[in-house]
Every structure is written in structure tokens, then in C-alpha cells.
Amino acid sequence: MAIRKLLLPLTGTAAGEAALATALITARIWNAHVTALHVRVDSRDVAPLAGEGLSGAMIEEMMSATEKESTDRAHAVRQMFERFVAAHDVTVSEPRRGATSATASFATITGREEDLVAQQARIADLTIVPHPEAGEDVSSSDALHAVLFDSGRPVLIAPRVAPASIGTRICIAWNGTAESASAVLGALPWMQRAAAVRVLTADEYHRRGPQAADLVSYLGLHGISCDIATFRPLDKDVGAGLLAATREFGADLLAMGAYSHSRLRQLILGGVTRHVLENAAIPVMMNR
């Protein structure tokens, strides 16, 4: 299946340009449309958070400050988008059938980011999420988790620095789970275009399910040739070993299932998903 529509939620500018560059590379590969979406905070949402003991005037002041901050941020994000598309000669238009080049558009809506991004992601082929801003916990990304848990669609996490290429050399992290099977399905169009594909597996990573050799046989039915590499954890960290194996292969895209364990367990104890999100230097496509 070809990729025709990309969703790019933009909440700030610090990681926005790298994400825009990642989206543009992807759009040019597939002649796809990028919808850059900024979700503004609804100032009315702060009223229930104010609690008791605050006067109406104080609540009104909080709402006014929230509205100003939201307006300033929306303006900054819109300016960043306009500078980027102008500098990279991107056609700004609405999505159109049969496009032969990448196009982009910008939209602003007001509400809860996690709700609106998940809803819009359901009618996009791929959602590209900026890497969390410097100093923020990667696990706190509302847009990332909204797409993973509530959209039923794949998400591509952009690296901190814009990549030179995407999808020419692909690694598939395989552990036999339903999540990794979903990642394989999402990556099929990419693998059919790639110059090289490698399946990564490890005893410490594998769960109950088909083995890597079974996956290689399945991919062969789709005309995809790939090899298998068994990696080892680094300092007992499976995620570190996985990323080392992607570097050794020279991969420019990693596809993997997300949160085979519960999200809460990964937040508290860490885990492969969290390590990869925090440390990957290449685009990572995740599915649940």
C-alpha cells in the first residue's frame, strides 16, 4: 500500500524543524501530503484545575494568560512551518488525488491534544511525531501515546537531528508478539522499496510466538529478501543492544512493536520501548 497522507502534530518549535524535515523526506519518497497540525490549548480547560479558594477574577486571569500563551505558541509554530516550506520549495496546498510531488498544509484546532491527534491519525497513513523537547521525558509525549494507543495506525518518531535518508536500509525488531507483527505490517511498503532489510532478534527480547526464521519466510512471499542478525544486550540492556545492531547494519529506519509490557511498567522500570525512544538517532516506526 502506498503512503499518501502524513500527519505531523506540532506543539513547539525546538524539535519541530527536524520533524518537518523528516516528514518532507517521507513525503517526497511517496509523493504524499503532509498535514501539519497544531493543537491549541483551550483556556476553558484551566478552570476546573484551578480548585477551590480562587476568586472568579483569579480564574479569569489564569484563563487570559493561558489564551495568550496559546496564541503566541500557535503563531510561532505557524511561522516555523511557513519558513520551512518556503526554504525547501514545498508546494502548500490541500491534499489532491494523483499527486506527483510532495505537498503540505497547516491547520490549527483547539482542544485536548491527545484526543484530537488520535482522531486525526485514524485517517492518515502515518503520523510523524517530533522527538520530545530537550529536557522532557520521552514517555510524556501526549501525541506519541495518543497515536500508539488510540489510533490503530503506525507512528514514526523523528530523530533529534534530521536524517539524510529514510527507509533505504531497514531493521525489523522481531520478538514474536502481536505488536511486532503489527510493526511488520506497517513497514511492508517500506521494505518493498528498501535496498536491504535485516531482522533483529535476541533470546532476551523474544516472547512466545513465531521465530525470526518464520518471519523471513513470510516476508519472502511478499518479494522481500532479508537476513537475520542475533544481537546481545549491552550491559544487560536489551534496548541498547538493539540500537547497537541497527548502527552496525547502517540502518536509516527501525520498525518495532511498542510496549509489549504495560506502559506503566515501562514508565517505572524502563524497557526496550523507552530506551529506543530516548536514544535512537534514526527514525523509528512503532506500532501497537
Q: pLDDT, tens digit, for every residue of 26-73?
A: 999 999 999 999 998 876 666 555 555 666 676 677 777 777 788 888
Report the phi/psi class of residue 31: left, alpha or beta, with left for phi > 0 and alpha for psi in -120 to 50: left
pLDDT at residue 267 greater than cutoff 60 = no
CA distance 67 to 59: 12
Q: What is the pLDDT, as a whole number, of residue 280?
A: 92
Q: CB–CB of 19/97 below 8 Å? A: no
Nearest alpha-carbon partner for 89 in 34, 24, 137: 24
Angle at 277 between CA 285 and CA 214, to 5 degrees: 45
Per-residue pLDDT averaged across 206-234, rounded?
95
In this model, does residue 139 exceed pLDDT 50? no
Confidence class for position 89, pLDDT limits 50, 70, 90: very high
The rounded percent of the chain whose pLDDT value lies above 90 is 59
Cell of 124: 492518515
Q: Which of 28, 30, 22 is nearest to 192 (CA)?
A: 30
Mapped to the 3 state alphabet, what secondary structure does the chain carry?
Answer: CCCCEEEEECCCCCCHHHHHHHHHHHHHHHCCEEEEEEEECCHHHHCCCCCCCCCHHHHHHHHHHHHHHHHHHHHHHHHHHHHHHHHCCCEECCCCCCCCCCEEEEEEEECCHHHHHHHHHCCCCEEEECCCCCCCCHHHCHHHHHHHHHCCCCEEECCCCCCCCCCCEEEEECCCCHHHHHHHHHHHHHHCCCCEEEEEECCCCCCCCCCHHHHHHHHHHCCCCCEEEECCCECCEHHHHHHHHHHHHCCCEEEEECCCCCHHHHHHHCCHHHHHHHHCCCCEEEEC
What pLDDT score was predicted for residue 137? Answer: 45
AA letter at 126: L
Domains, the chain, in order of start with CATH, read 5-157 (3.40.50.620), 169-287 (3.40.50.620)
Q: What pLDDT sits at residue 266?
A: 46
- Band (273; pLDDT cuts 50, 70, 90): confident
Greater model confidence, 18 or 261? 18
155-157, strands of its sheet edge to edge: 91-92, 103-110, 33-40, 5-9, 126-129, 155-157, 284-287, 253-257, 169-173, 196-201, 227-230
Q: 178, 169, 117: which is closest to 145 by C-alpha?
A: 117
Q: For 147-184, b where at least 16 C-beta lie within 10 A, e where not — what string?
A: bbebbebbbbbbbeebbeebbbbbbbbbbbbebbbbbb
- Alpha-carbon distance of 262 to 140, in angstroms, equals 15
Which pLDDT value is given to residue 231?
Answer: 94
Cell of residue 189, nine digits: 511498503
pLDDT, tens digit, for every residue of 246-258?
999 999 999 999 8
pLDDT at 60: 74
Average pLDDT along the chain: 87
What was the pLDDT predicted at 265? 43
